[in-house]
Amino acid sequence: MLDRRDWECVKAHGIDPEAVEAQLVGFREGFPYLDVVRPASVGDGILRLDDSRLAALGRRYDRACGVCRVVKFVPASGAATRMFRELFGYLSSGEENRVTAEVLGALERFAFYDRLRRLLPPGASPEDVVRGIVGPGGLGYGNMPKALILFHRYPAEVRTALEEHLTEGAQYAACGGRVAVHFTVSPEHAGDFGRVFDAALPKYGERFGVEYDVTVSVQKSSTDTIAVNPDNTPFRNGDGSLLFRPAGHGALIENLNEMDADLVFIKNIDNVTTDSRRGDTVVYKKALAGLLLEVQEKIHGYLRMLEEETPAAEGAVGTGKIVRVPDQLTYQKALSRTVIFTSTVLFDREKIDKALLQMPDVPSEDTAMWWQILRNGHVAYGLKENLVIYRRPEKSLSSNKFRAITRIWGLYRKQEKMSVIASAACFCMWAVRAVWRRI
């Protein structure tokens, strides 16, 4: 399908030949669908934060701002072609569609209206107006990056999407009076971006009392995708050469990887709102950053623990006991034994349904997940090797007997739907073994 000259073109573009082969196979055979297990819900993929938690996480981020390097990363190289698809359709067919009718009917409400009006001839026809919006003789929005399109109208000014990101960045990404923002841009519009930056940076820097540190990068040509015809054969330019098109935002992972920062806020160029509606955005951006810093701190603590070979938590001590695991553990046996509570558990993902490997949203969710796996007919097998060192910190669940008892009883009754008698029987066996293990 591809000859020697084609492969030379691929290499000149900086693309791995194997990647092109994989792309062509994907076009011919189809790309796999995402394996959706279930919708996310609160407690299962979605974290709900109350007002006090939101505030606490926001304060955590604010404290870190003085020492962290924070960057707002904005993919901004995408053209607005799809935004104006219906307008292009109107120009090519001459037939008005619903979207075009709505645009023409509400023209004065658009942020770009005043600028467009100055470009239109007196008595402009609907076709003149549409051409003035998307055509090269007018605003030229049909071939312009979304970053440079006037998005929002205010009483005293209009703003592009790029300016809204500068405004937003000043409200949650300012550290020590400095706002670092990185935009990915298209090479052919680099000059247009530069002109907007020259006018906007001093304006918004003075307005918010900050100094902007703006950097840009272009999407790497090595991440481009080969273009194909409807029959999935390579599309060729007029001179017979291959055509490559920029890949989606996922291709910007390499640009993102080059960011020298501790914390990066990522937000697409057209995902912006107006000043009056930005409050929630700022609150939740700061909260997400605070949560990330909280998780990072835990990870760093675990890494230090592994390097220093210290207990997992302050005040934790080894129990000095050896947990003997059975050769096999079925669901019924697991209900009355504590051994699986203190073990390293390995799963054979080829044999266990993915849905069973999701932790239920209940206290002691790890135990609940193990039980649901065993309940579905799987068997656990013991390994006669020391795979885990078990420590019991002073404030752990293991050290709080009442809390541990409440949780295990709750699992029996609510998660496993067991009767009071069956729950009591398993609980007694569980308690006896728990005490015996500590003797």
List, in order, residues 6 or more apart from 310 with CB less than 8 Å away. Answer: 304
Number of C-beta neighbours around residue 218 at 10 A: 14
Alpha carbon distance, N-terminus to C-terminus of the chain: 73
pLDDT value, residue 400: 65
CA-based nearest residue to 348, from 375, 367, 373: 373
Q: H/E element holding 371?
A: helix 365-375
| 3-class DSSP state of 185 | strand
The per-residue pLDDT for 325 is 77
pLDDT beneath 70, residues of the chain:
1, 248-249, 309-323, 338-344, 386-401, 434-439
Which residues on adjacent β-strands are paired with residue 328? 381
| pLDDT score at 316 | 55
CA–CA separation, 137 and 131 (whole Å): 8
Place of tokens 């500590």: 438
Q: Give the torsion through C-alpha atoms of 301, 304, 310, 312, to 10 deg.
A: 30
- Residue 172 dihedral angles phi and psi, to the nearest 5°: -140, -5
pTM above 0.75, yes or no: no
Q: Are 90 and 197 in contact (CB under 8 A)?
A: no
How many residues does this entry show for the chain? 439
Residue 60: in which H helix or E strand, if any?
helix 51-64
Q: What is the pLDDT of residue 428?
A: 87
Per the CB < 8 A criterion, the answer to whether 23 and 247 are in contact is no
Question: In 3-state terms, what secondary structure has residue 8?
Answer: helix
Rounded Cα–Cα distance for residues 342 and 175 (Å): 44
b/e map 118-146, b = 16+ CB within 10 Å: ebeeeeeeeebbbbbbbbeebbbbbebbb
Q: How many CB atoms lie within 10 A of CB 281?
A: 16
What is residue 186's predicted lDDT score, i.e. its pLDDT?
82
Which residues share a beta bridge with 74?
183
Q: What is the pLDDT of residues 114-154, one digit of tens each?
A: 999 999 989 899 999 999 999 888 999 988 888 999 999 99
- The C-alpha atoms of residue 6 and residue 59 are separated, in whole angstroms, by 56
pLDDT of residue 74: 95
Other C-beta atoms within 10 Å of 194: how many? 11
